[in-house]
């Protein structure tokens, strides 16, 4: 399984921790050792046939319904964290 390329590779562990924390707050069961697997739970909720490996059969809309809640919630949390830092 290919990992997403991030701008600062050294931040992967912190991003995974953020993903874990954010998605747990949203009520999802997240395996702390494999937080990327949350996408399968979201796909099941949406009745989207996501499987390990190649998923070229998925439409852009389906992929967005899986990744959107994850990335969107992570961005919201990062903005909240930044606002808190600015207030200090």
Residue burial 58-73, b: 16+ Cβ < 10 Å; e: rest: beeebeebbeebbeeb
Cβ atoms 38, 19 nearer than 8 A: yes
Q: What is the pLDDT of residues 27-43, one digit of tens each?
A: 999 998 999 999 999 99
Using pLDDT thresholds of 50, 70 and 90, give the confidence band for residue 1: very low
Task: Record the pTM.
Answer: 0.80
Q: What is the pLDDT of residues 50-81, one digit of tens each?
A: 999 999 999 999 999 999 999 999 999 999 99
pLDDT at 4: 64
Cβ atoms 43, 66 nearer than 8 A: yes
How far is the C-alpha of 3 from the C-alpha of 36, rounded, in Å?
9
How far is the C-alpha of 47 from the C-alpha of 41, rounded, in Å?
10
């Amino acid at each position: 399984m290919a990992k997403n390329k991030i701008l600062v590779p050294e931040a992967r562990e912190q991003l995974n921790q953020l993903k874990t924390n954010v998605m747990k707050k949203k009520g999802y069961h997240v395996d702390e050792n494999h937080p990327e697997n949350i996408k399968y739970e979201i796909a099941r909720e949406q009745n989207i046939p996501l499987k390990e490996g190649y998923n070229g059969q998925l439409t852009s809309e389906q992929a967005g319904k899986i990744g959107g809640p994850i990335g969107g919630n992570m961005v919201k949390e990062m903005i909240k964290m930044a606002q808190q830092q600015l207030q200090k």
